[in-house]
Amino acid sequence: MIKDKLTNAETYYGLSEGIKLGFEWLKSQDLENITPGKYYIDGEKIYANIQEYETKDDADYEAHRKYADIQYMIKGREFAGAVDIKNCKPCTEYDGEKDIEFLKYAGEDAYQVLNEGEFLIFYPQDAHKPSINPGHKQRVKKVVVKVRLG
């Protein structure tokens, strides 16, 4: 997992061409005014999901095998849990079509605060639990850029 501000995105361009394209797309958009929905950056290889929702009290962890996530907070604030997937147990079967599995973690949650202008990058080894209340429910606007690996 990586956490930083979008203003520092160039630091991570060397991770992969897909990560670079994802960040370039984020920086080129009017994210404050973009409509929720799916935006294709490079077909199914790289795309963005713009979401607006209310934060939750709790959730299961999730993980992906085919994609890395760049989760960028446009408006609002949330907590996001992140743990090594090796320390989790599946609570659903992996859905290859949606590239997602849900997991349980028996340890103490370790949360990152995701503020406006910040991003988190999650790789397949990073079980993550986004969208958690930062002390109280709030409405957020976030984009998740999905970057196909391999």
Q: Residues of 99-134 as b/e, b for ≥16 C-beta within 10 angstroms?
A: eebbbebeeeeeebebeeebbbbbbeebbbbbbbeb
Distance, CA of 55 to chain centre:
14
3-state helix, strand, coil in the chain (%, to 5): 15, 50, 35
In whole angstroms, what is the distance from residue 94 CA to residue 124 CA?
12
For residue 36, pLDDT over 90 is answered with yes
CATH number at residue 89: 2.60.120.370
Q: How does pLDDT run across 93-137, given as a tens digit for each residue?
A: 999 999 999 999 999 998 999 999 999 999 999 999 999 999 999
For residue 140, pLDDT over 90 is answered with yes
Please state the rounded mean pLDDT for residues 17-36: 98
pTM: 0.96
Provide the number of structural domains found in the chain: 1
For residue 8, pLDDT over 90 is answered with yes
Whether 107 contacts 87, CB under 8 Å? yes
Radius of gyration over every alpha carbon of the chain, rounded to an integer in angstroms: 15
Q: How many residues does the chain have?
A: 150
Q: How does pLDDT run across 37-68, given as a tens digit for each residue?
A: 999 999 999 999 999 999 999 999 999 999 99
Domain of 120, in residue numbers: 2-148
Please state the rounded mean pLDDT for residues 22-47: 98
